[in-house]
Each structure stands twice: as structure tokens, then as C-alpha cells.
Structure 1
Amino acid sequence: MKITETKIDVRYAETDQMGVVHHSNYIVWCELGRTKLIKELGFDYSDLEAAGIVSPVINIDLDYKFPARFGESVTLLTWIDSYDGLRVVYGYKINNQNGQICAHGSSSHVCVKKESFRPVSIKKQLPQWHEVYEKNKKSN
């Protein structure tokens, strides 16, 4: 199983009036990690879009455990939690610089044709992605 590590410096603009990272920013960070993981697996999401395929989020689930604050650095771990040839579930864990878990969770995605939003079988339409995702998904 491949795990990508993304370092993020918490910016002031990402915090709320309580001085902690606003919950919406964690979702943006997950996207950074997901894009980095895809790149480290040898692919580029923009190539997928150029082929007329997009991969929308169909579910996201994040548990917030400990606040990240301005001036801190966090580390985002990203991996393929499950994959079945059609649906991909990415896993995430965000730790602060002291090793405390700030958030963890997952997002589910499918591939669809950009024009019609009709589902696309990754296994059939993107065999190279399928092979790499099978090889790198979490072993249960």
C-alpha cells in the first residue's frame, strides 16, 4: 500500500475566529493529498480530464479530533483505502507537528464522462490506472 505524505503550513486565512483551522480547509487539504498521491502513482488528473473523464466526490467523511492552528505545520497522509474497479475510496490522516491526530477520514469517488456524467468503469476504460490502484490499495 502506497502512502503519500504532504506537509502543510497552516495559513492565517485558513483559521476562524477561534484561531483554529476552519473545518472546510481540511477538505481542501485532502484534495492536495489525493492529487499528490495520483501523481506519485504515475498519473496526472489533468490527463484524465483531457480524455473527457472526471472523478467527482460522491461522499466525504472526516472526523475532527484536535484543532490545528495558525503557524503550525501539519502532515497529511493519503492512501487508497479501497478500490473495486469502479469506486475509489481514499483514506486520510492529518497530524499536527506534535503527532496529535487533527482529523481522519475518507472520500469516495467514481469516474464519469464529463459531458454526460455517466459512470465509467476504471477497470475497462483506464486499465493502467486499474492495475496501479489494485496494486496500491490497502490490504484488508
Structure 2
Amino acid sequence: MSVTREGYVISGRTGLPFEEVVERARSLLAEAGYGVLCEIDVAAKLKEKLGVEREPYVILGACNPPLANEALGAEPDLGALLPCNLAVYRQDGRTVVAAVEPETMLSVVGNEKLDPIARRVRGDFERIVGELTGGEE
């Protein structure tokens, strides 16, 4: 599987249609115990607010309630970094999936109690991105 983990994202690319990847992302997140708390159609918002045309781009704000509860118990201010985002967009004729890299994101907090939670979320998101992209580069 060829999912990349660089800096602040876990990502992959696929030739599958954008709409199909977004629908599968919702399903895979749900199967892994994550609810989609918000969905932002970035392309539509930029067109509405700025008159800018761009390729399709959607951000799914995902949350796993038991993990969020545990993390907030260890670090109440963590809500400022939630939910975990998964972006799906088109670029150069391909569909790209990019998820937040939770270990990198939570490292700024400096609370070791969050490490096992970050590892669990990272594993979930690596698997989800891999399934969505078929491990393609």
C-alpha cells in the first residue's frame, strides 16, 4: 500500500471519481467509529464568496466520540484542534485524499497521555486513506 505520511498529512491519490471517493470516505469513517460532524464544500464556498472556480474540494470533519472523550479528559483545551479533518479533492485529473496526521497535530500539545490516542487515530486514518486510494501514488 502506497499511502504517504509526510509532515501534517496522511495522503494518497486515485483515479476513482471524486464523488465516489467522498461517499466511500463517509462509509469508511462510519465503519471505523467516526461520525462526520461537518462537511465543507470548499469549491462551492469559494465560488459563492469570491467568484473563484476550482476543482471539487470537500473537507469532512470526523470525530470518534469515545476517543474524543478520552482526549478531552486528558486535555480539555484539545477541542480547539478537533475534529480530525479528511480532505478529498481533484488535482491533475486524479482524486486526492489527505487526512490530518494526528501524531504531528497532537505533538504541539505536549501531553503524553494523548500519544496512544494519536497512534490509534493515525492507524485508522492510514487504513481509510489506503482503502480509498487503493494504495496508489
TM-score (norm: length of structure 1): 0.32
Higher relative contact order (CA 8 A, sep 6+): 2
**TM, length-normalised to structure 2:** 0.32
Structure number, greater radius of gyration: 1
Bigger share in strand: 1
